[in-house]
Amino acid sequence: MASITIKDMSVSYNKGKSFVLDNLSLDIKNGEFCVFLGPSGCGKSTAMHCIAGLLHPMSGEIRFGEEVMTSANRKGRDKTFVPPQERNIAMVFQEYALYPNMTVRENMSFALKTKKVAKEEIAKRVDYMAKMLSIEQLMDRRPAELSGGQRQRVALGRALVRDPQVFLLDEPLGNLDAKLRDQVRYELKKIQEQLGITTIYVTHDQTEAMTMADHIVLLKDGHIMQQGTPEEMYDHPANEFVAGFLGTPQINIFFCEVKGNILDAGSFKLNIPEHLRTCLVPYAGKKINLGIRPSDLELAKDKMDVIKGHVESIEPLGDAYLIYVRVGEQIVVFKYTGEHAPKEKELLLTPNMAKLHLFDALTEKRINR
Amino acid sequence: MPNDMNIERSRAGQQAQTVRVKPKWHMTVLHIVYYLIMICFLIFYMLPFWGTVMTSFKTNSEVMTTTPITPPTQWTLEGYASAMEELGVPLLTSLFVTLFGAAGSVFLGSICAYALSKWKFKFNNVFFIALVAATYLPFQAILIPLLQTISALDLYDNIWGLVLVHTVFGMPMCTVMMRGYYADIPDALIRQAMIDGNGMWAIYRKIVLPNTMIATITVFVFQCTSIWNEMLFALVLGGYDSKPATIALNELAGTMAAEFNVQMAGSLILALPVLVLYIFMGKYLISGQMSGAVTAS
């Protein structure tokens, strides 16, 4: 088990003309479950491959604990580079990458045999992990004879059996159906907590990130947009991108103007609450973006701070309803948790004033703390 | 009553299924013409083979008095016995050169293909283009320098000289063929093997080779066939001691004039191993050729 420190790491595929990762710096604590989250092409898998030693960064440093694994100068020359086979890491790929010519038992034993671990020890560890993942009855089968979920468990088992110091998971649930994904997600988190192995998990699915992570690193275009606990990032997104990326359905964004103590969105006006007034002083007369999460809207009880809208459609979720409301030219999503969906076509909504998110219209950075 | 109706319906269904649409007369004629053309081609291609087989079982005197395609009145193996006297040692030479030459070229080609398809290094594509170009090189163009080189290595009229030449000249084609197969191995498998603690060579040995066995067999059989049938290098670089069966067969035609039964028996003996190889390895060849055609899932 080890902490991971990344310092000023840059990766370029075209000799520095453009960067896939640009000066990435990051600390992952020992035993932490860290999720690299972001849209396709943001550099999350690249960062993981650098940590695994499958890619050489152009510059920067990667340490496992105190031990330097990769250190490269700006010219892309490695000062130190520990090859992947010597890093004592385990990795699970989205494609599972099970060896087709080997049985499940052989797949799980392969890395230990390479390390020349004693046969009895290999059998003991493999049997323990097989029991833990409920795959004991599959041990003599080949990967082609397994279902997607079974393959995924074998891939996990193969990685965990090694007792690695770092555990890397590159979108491992991407090929599973929704039900199985939920189940494996729970099991994976449970096993990680039991074993306490420092884990990095790459995904573009914000639900996976929110439910599993101790620490989320949200990336965009090779830069860290924000990092922190899931609660911190959800409740206090550092910018509009983070606010939009985390949470389903997506946050509603309104373009507003600060007019005295009023936020004027054109189609509605809100009184600026006391706790937001100080931070909005520099924005007097200027435009800002107001973010309200669908779950932070409710049906108005009085005429104060209301958003009037016309119901366009209603999606029942079982335990709640997603109501799409037209407010001016904009469609606003409202998550209603009442027992029956409202029958009125015109709704008066009011936001939870304690949970408003204000962003600078130009920089898209968060204004309120 | 409903049951009776069902029976009636099922009978009607069966009748409807068995009713055949009568083909129009011009379609029938067209089919007959197609078959006639195909039979003509079959006879055209099979007649020499038939003549060879029939002649090989005739006595020398019967060969003189009958046409090649007529079956022998007295079946004999004397042609085969005489041919084996001449071809015995050269056949062993051919077998040795074929097995070692094919094994060498497949082994080197496989390693090259692995490096070119799975590892990134400087001038990777340049190497590959050079290898592809080498497969188009006419061997006649390099015969003289090749002869000089082989002589300088003291490998003229040496069985190992032929093995070396076939290994080297077979390698580019093997590389090109195997690179296609290796490209289908997912990169994630190679990365996983690296993370599992294996180096480049161990990955080749433990992962790449076992998972591409059919491809290796396909390329090996292809190489065996071409080396077994090869004559140019054998003629130029092999003397009396390293004479393969193709040269011996040619000499059979030159030295024993008019002994057609012996020549035909020799031809069939020479063709037999390749035929056997194709009959027994056919299914591997077809699946091997197909496996390169679609992306591995």
Tokens of A85: 């086979």
Instruction: Kindly list the distances between the CA atom of residue A43 and the CA atoms of A37, A59, A96, A222, B194, in Å, as whole numbers in the listed order.
Output: 10, 15, 20, 5, 22
Which residues are paired to A224 by β-bridges?
A219
Asked whether A168 and A16 are in contact (CB, 8 A), the reply is: no
Instruction: Kindly list the distances between the CA atom of residue B287 and the CA atoms of A182, B67, B172, B213, B294, in Å, as whole numbers in the listed order.
Output: 39, 42, 22, 11, 11
Mean pLDDT, range B221-231, rounded to an integer: 87
CB contact under 8 A, A99 and B207: yes
Dihedral (CA of B72, B77, B81, B87) sign: positive
Tokens of A208: 């996976």
pLDDT at residue B58 in the model: 83
Which of A73, A81, A218, A191 lies closest to A130, judged by CA? A191
Same domain, A13 and A35: yes
CATH number at residue B222: 1.10.3720.10
**pLDDT reading at B293 higher than 60:** no
Mean pLDDT, range B69-85, rounded to an integer: 83
**pLDDT reading at A75 higher than 70:** no
Kindly identify which residue of chain A lies nearest to residue B190, measuring between CA atoms.
A97
Instruction: State the Cα–Cα distance between residues A150 and A133, nearest whole angstrom.
Output: 9
Does residue A368 belong to any structural domain of this protein? no
Same domain, B136 and B225: yes
Same domain, B211 and B274: yes
Of B42, B65, B88, the position where a domain reaches its end is B65
CA atoms within 13 A on the CB side of B187: 8
pLDDT at residue B285 in the model: 64
Instruction: State the Cα–Cα distance between residues A181 and A179, nearest whole angstrom.
Output: 5
Asked whether B248 and B86 are in contact (CB, 8 A), the reply is: yes
Same domain, A168 and A133: no
Q: Nearest C-alpha of chain A: how many angstroms from B5?
A: 46
**pLDDT reading at A214 higher than 80:** yes
Phi-psi group of A176: left, alpha or beta (phi > 0 → left; psi -120 to 50 → alpha; rest → beta)? beta
Does residue B296 belong to any structural domain of this protein? no
Instruction: Kindly list the distances between the CA atom of residue A355 and the CA atoms of A235, A292, B55, in Å, as whole numbers in the listed order.
Output: 8, 7, 99
pLDDT at residue B7 in the model: 53
Contacts of B197 in chain A (CB under 8 A): 85-86, 111, 114-115
Same domain, A191 and A127: no
Mean pLDDT, range B53-78, rounded to an integer: 82
Which of A168, A170, A137 lies closest to A154, judged by CA? A137
Contacts of B104 (CB under 8 A, 6+ apart): B163, B164, B166, B167, B170, B171
Same domain, A155 and A174: no
Does residue A234 belong to any structural domain of this protein? no
Mean pLDDT, range B238-259, rounded to an integer: 75
pLDDT at residue B1 in the model: 43
State chain B's mean pLDDT as an integer. 81
Tell me whether residue A341 is exposed, middle or buried, using C-beta atoms within 10 angstroms of its C-beta: 0 to 12, 13 to 18, 19 or more.
middle
**pLDDT reading at A310 higher than 90:** yes
Q: Which of A176-180, A311-315, A320-324 has the lowest mean pLDDT?
A: A176-180
pLDDT at residue B297 in the model: 34
Instruction: Band the pLDDT of B19: cuts 50, 70, 90.
Output: low
Q: Which of A20-34, A77-91, B2-16, B223-237 has the lowest mean pLDDT?
A: B2-16
Q: What range defines the domain where residue A39 resides? A: 1-88+164-228
Mean pLDDT, range A194-217, rounded to an integer: 91
Same domain, B146 and B88: yes
Contacts of A91 in chain B (CB under 8 A): 191-192, 195
* Token pair 């409903």 in the structure block, residue: B2
Q: Nearest C-alpha of chain B: how many angstroms from A101?
A: 6
Q: Nearest C-alpha of chain B: how many angstroms from A159?
A: 9
Mean pLDDT, range B48-65, rounded to an integer: 84
Tokens of B113: 């293909």
**pLDDT reading at A1 higher than 50:** yes
Instruction: Band the pLDDT of B41: cuts 50, 70, 90.
Output: very high
First to last CA, chain A: 35
CATH number at residue A180: 3.40.50.300
pLDDT at residue B286 in the model: 62
Does residue B70 belong to any structural domain of this protein? no
Asked whether A324 and A339 are in contact (CB, 8 A), the reply is: no
**pLDDT reading at B229 higher than 50:** yes
Same domain, B148 and B254: yes
Q: How many domains does chain A have?
A: 3
Which of B95, B78, B88, B103 lies closest to B273, judged by CA? B95
State whether residue A174 sits within 8 Å of chain B by CB: no
State whether residue B120 sits within 8 Å of chain A by CB: no
State whether residue A31 sits within 8 Å of chain B by CB: no
Render the burial of B32-47: b for 16+ CB within 10 Å, e for the rest: eeeeeeeeeeeeeeee
**pLDDT reading at A186 higher than 80:** yes
Instruction: Band the pLDDT of B102: cuts 50, 70, 90.
Output: very high
Instruction: Kindly list the distances between the CA atom of residue A294 and the CA atoms of A37, A45, A188, in Å, as whole numbers in the listed order.
Output: 22, 31, 30
Q: Which of A195-209, A352-366, B119-133, B197-211 has the lowest mean pLDDT?
A: B119-133
Does residue B148 belong to any structural domain of this protein? yes
Instruction: Band the pLDDT of B255: cuts 50, 70, 90.
Output: low
From chain B residues 135-194, the ones with a CB under 8 A of any chain A CB are 186, 188-189, 191-194
State whether residue A148 sits within 8 Å of chain B by CB: no
Mean pLDDT, range B119-142, rounded to an integer: 83
Select from B186, B206, B210 the Cβ nearest to the Cβ of A95. B186
Asked whether A23 and A76 are in contact (CB, 8 A), the reply is: no
Q: Nearest C-alpha of chain A: how many angstroms from B214?
A: 12
State whether residue B256 sits within 8 Å of chain A by CB: no
Tell me whether residue A314 is exposed, middle or buried, using C-beta atoms within 10 angstroms of its C-beta: 0 to 12, 13 to 18, 19 or more.
middle
**pLDDT reading at B3 higher than 70:** no
State whether residue A110 sits within 8 Å of chain B by CB: yes
Same domain, A154 and A6: no
Reduce the DSSP state of residue B95 to 3 states and report it: helix
The CA-CA-CA angle for residues A35, A41, A47, to 5°, reads 45
Instruction: Band the pLDDT of A76: cuts 50, 70, 90.
Output: low
Instruction: Band the pLDDT of A251: cuts 50, 70, 90.
Output: very high
**Residue B212 host element (H or E):** none
State whether residue A114 sits within 8 Å of chain B by CB: yes
Same domain, A283 and A188: no
State chain A's mean pLDDT as an integer. 88
Contacts of B207 in chain A (CB under 8 A): 99, 101
Same domain, A41 and A176: yes
Mean pLDDT, range B71-78, rounded to an integer: 83
CB contact under 8 A, B197 and A114: yes
Same domain, B171 and B54: no
A8 phi/psi in degrees, rounded to 5: 45, 45
Tell me whether residue B81 is exposed, middle or buried, using C-beta atoms within 10 angstroms of its C-beta: 0 to 12, 13 to 18, 19 or more.
exposed
Most A CBs within 10 A among B121, B189, B192, hence the mutation to make, goes to B192
pLDDT at residue A94 in the model: 81
Same domain, A39 and A181: yes
Same domain, A269 and A316: yes
Q: Within chain A, where are the H helices? A: 44-52, 104-114, 119-132, 148-160, 178-195, 206-212, 230-235, 240-245, 274-280
Contacts of B281 (CB under 8 A, 6+ apart): B217, B221
CB contacts < 8 A (A, B): 55
CB contact under 8 A, B210 and A97: no
pLDDT at residue B258 in the model: 67
CB contact under 8 A, A114 and B196: yes
Same domain, A40 and A62: yes
Instruction: Band the pLDDT of A225: cuts 50, 70, 90.
Output: very high
pLDDT at residue A151 in the model: 86
Q: How many domains does chain B have?
A: 2
Q: What percent of chain B clears pLDDT 90, i.e. is strictly above it?
A: 11
pLDDT at residue B294 in the model: 34
Q: What range defines the domain where residue B260 resides? A: 78-291
Instruction: Band the pLDDT of B257: cuts 50, 70, 90.
Output: low
Same domain, B144 and B252: yes
Which residues are paired to A330 by β-bridges?
A327
Which residues are paired to A338 by β-bridges?
none
Contacts of B210 in chain A (CB under 8 A): 101
Same domain, A146 and A210: no
Mean pLDDT, range B238-265, rounded to an integer: 76
First to last CA, chain B: 55
Instruction: State the Cα–Cα distance between residues A63 and A65, nearest whole angstrom.
Output: 6
